[in-house]
Amino acid sequence: MKQRIITGIIGGALFISMVMLGSWFFALFITIVASVAMVELLKMKKIAPFSLMGGISLISMWLLLVPTTWFEQVIPIHFTKVEIFIFLILVLLMFTVLTKNTFTFDEVGFVILSSVYVGFGFHYLIVTREIPDTGLFLVFFVMFLIWTTDSGAYFAGRAFGKHKLWPDISPKKTIEGSIGGIVAAIIVGTVIYLIFPEYLSYMTATLIILVASTFGQLGDLVESALKRHYSVKDSGNVLPGHGGILDRFDSLIYVMPILHLLQLI
């Protein structure tokens, strides 16, 4: 417990500091964090990060991670990120033939989905922070909603939990806890909105609260399903007492793309 608290304080302080700094400091920090998360996924699948397949996987993730404006400045060619990503997918499929199925179609699917999951998840975190005037508030707003949901679900589950939410994926989570997490997010999110009403309309703030709280829990279940499928307790051990990067960012990188796709951010 002591180690968990120390790691939480140091990690939380570092992350909050980077969010406050913003600009390339935050983007570089998130790039490192995303790279570690991708390595964790590769290790789950037993793909060596420093192998050819591991390298292509990381390149695919980085391609989706970097903001489009950065990509256009660094790569002065007339190809979009999506076009290059599709080309990499075709290269991966080619390797299934060249390696005589040593590198299988299933592994290609894993690499592609992992790149999208990690790359786009952290991409939209960077993009959100870069929004003029409101970016800093939005990142903290969503973060606090996810943290509040987690805490509310934990305490509500302990106090009232009787019905399992999804026992095959996460045996300890309960329906009562899930509802408690959403209620806690609504209360805290409303208080934050009342303190800073200038950043969002009431309707937008309410929708962000509901989406972040609900899909944040789903994002946690997605990562739990991954770990259960690959028979690992934690995604990694880079954060003593907390597990890996994915264990800490699973909800955030699942919620951010959804908020952008729904045009709430």
pLDDT value at 75 more than 70: no
156 and 109 in one domain?
no
C-alpha count within 13 angstroms, C-beta hemisphere, residue 60:
29
> Going along the chain, which residue ranges are E strands?
164-166, 170-174
pLDDT of residue 1: 59
121 and 166 in one domain?
no
Map residue 20 onto helix, strand or coil: helix
pLDDT value at 199 more than 70: yes
Residue type, 167: P
Residue 221 lies in a domain: yes
Measured CA angle at 182 (ends 137, 138), to 5 deg? 10
Residue 15 lies in a domain: no
Residue 14 lies in a domain: no
Residue 112 lies in a domain: yes
Task: Identify the band that residue 227 occupies on the pLDDT scale cut at 50, 70 and 90.
Answer: confident
Task: Identify the band that residue 51 occupies on the pLDDT scale cut at 50, 70 and 90.
Answer: confident
Task: Identify the band that residue 186 occupies on the pLDDT scale cut at 50, 70 and 90.
Answer: very high
